[in-house]
Structure 1
Amino acid sequence: MSPLVDKNSGAVAVIGLGRFGSSLALELTRRGTEVLAIDHRTAAVRSLTGRITQVAAADSTDLDALRQLGVADFHRVVCAIGSDLEASILTSSLLVELEIDDIWAKAISRQHGQILERIGVQHVVFPEHDMGERVAHLVSGRLLDYMEVDEHFAMAKIHPPKDYVGIALGRSGLRRKHGVTIVAVKPSGEEFTYATADTELAYGDIIIVSGRPDQVERFAELP
């Protein structure tokens, strides 16, 4: 049994210490989360020893090895194995067999993701695809930052279009015309504050706008 956890703790087990898994484990550790990191490659394990709460070299496709490491005691486990599809799928199926409450798994293709979902993985992530899509939005337009929460809702950080500078948001007809909502405003040299009906935008402001992805993108392209 892992010394880190019981079922009610916030600790996370990360299986697979490639670039994605290592970055995830280190970031969780930086945020104060206790992490058990597992990989079959001793070099990968050695590189993180002393930087993460607990690191172990083990074959994650071996159910007994997972049990011995106490993986079954974790509420949340991430299978960060990507390139080895067989290991990814088998490891994820063992996590389902161990009745882990909250399983996250990396997928490298839609087909891979569909298989993971079918065997019972609750959360499938596509790091390369999602990052590529986000960067594409940033590179191709006026967006300063962009996050697609799901297929029907997105948030973006942009400068305000000139037609909405100097007008109170409550009088601008913004939502009626463009279907988006300005959530927060950051005046030049200040911090973000919640936008209200009385908020007037200025040149140099940064705004957070939300709405359907297509609406957000069209609004961001306004001069």
Structure 2
Amino acid sequence: MVVGLGRFGGAVARRLASMGTEVLGVDTDPELVQEHAEHLTKVVEADCTDPAVLRQLGAADFATAVVGIGSDIEASVLTVLALADMGLTNIWAKASNANHARILERIGATHVVFPEERMGERVAHLLNERLLDFIAFDDEFAIARLAAPEPIVGLPLVTSACRKKYDVTVVGVKRKGEAFIHAVPDTIIFPDDELVVSGKIKDLEQFSAI
């Protein structure tokens, strides 16, 4: 169940539907309801801040609910509260700021996301032009895709010793025209290889720049 079909909620709902998941989309905006009608299992125009409406929609029968309401904090809070009161134990909610997030967590949201903040951080890391893709986690750990640094080209990973020298782990290698391969100690890095590497953010950035 996805409540709020704006940019965030709509993207989540449509991606879930494309993966074969049955999705009930709900929004108060009739234009958004119509826009998503052909893509989701069912779309309803309704106000989910009202517990009675949620009961009519059968919200209690869903294993997971996503509340994509960000700009209207009151509606976001009331919707999460109503879903939590109905017994849902897997509620994902979008927050617009830190105070909003704290409230959502206290009233029952099990996962709170900041899509704009996360995207801003991701773009900032990608702007250095050495990282091709980047996913950060909360403890300064990240997974990045980057071009193979010159000092390790032509060497097997056991020889370049990335983990020992640079504190990063090469997880896999992607070569043009070939399928992704999982990295092993004997994997030789070729020019133009793209690497999937894990480690602390500062170590990844330093590794990409060597």
Q: Does 1:185 align with 2:173?
A: yes
* Identity within the alignment, %: 47
Report deviation, 1:37. Answer: 0.4
| Aligned partners of 1:151 and 1:213 also within 8 Å | no
Report deviation, 1:201. Answer: 0.6
> For 2:92 and 2:117, how far apart are their aligned partners in 1?
16
Match of 1:9 in 2: none
Match of 2:127 in 1: 139
> For 1:33 and 1:220, how far apart are their aligned partners in 2?
38
Match of 1:46 in 2: 34
Amino acid in structure 1 at the alignment position of 2:143: M
> Could you say what secondary structure the match of 1:59 adopts?
coil
> For 1:217 and 1:42, how far apart are their aligned partners in 2?
46
Match of 2:61 in 1: 73
> Could you say what secondary structure the match of 1:99 adopts?
coil
1:110-149 equivalent positions in 2, closer than 5 A:
110-149=98-137
Match of 1:63 in 2: 51
Match of 1:5 in 2: none
Match of 1:31 in 2: 19
| Aligned partners of 1:141 and 1:220 also within 8 Å | no
Q: Does 1:196 align with 2:202?
A: no
Aligned residue-pair number: 210
> For 2:191 and 2:39, how far apart are their aligned partners in 1?
44
Match of 2:155 in 1: 167
| Structure 2 residues not aligned, in runs of 5+ | none
> For 2:68 and 2:170, how far apart are their aligned partners in 1?
36
- Give the superposed CA RMSD: 1.1
> For 2:77 and 2:111, how far apart are their aligned partners in 1?
14
Q: Does 1:153 align with 2:141?
A: yes
User: After TM superposition, what 4+ stretches of structure 1 lie above 4 angstroms from structure 2?
Assistant: none
Match of 2:89 in 1: 101
1:212-223 equivalent positions in 2, closer than 5 A:
212-222=200-210
Report deviation, 1:114. Answer: 1.4
| Aligned partners of 1:25 and 1:52 also within 8 Å | yes
Report deviation, 1:50. Answer: 2.6
| Structure 1 residues not aligned, in runs of 5+ | 1-12
Q: Does 1:14 align with 2:2?
A: yes
Match of 2:199 in 1: 211
> For 1:142 and 1:171, how far apart are their aligned partners in 2?
23
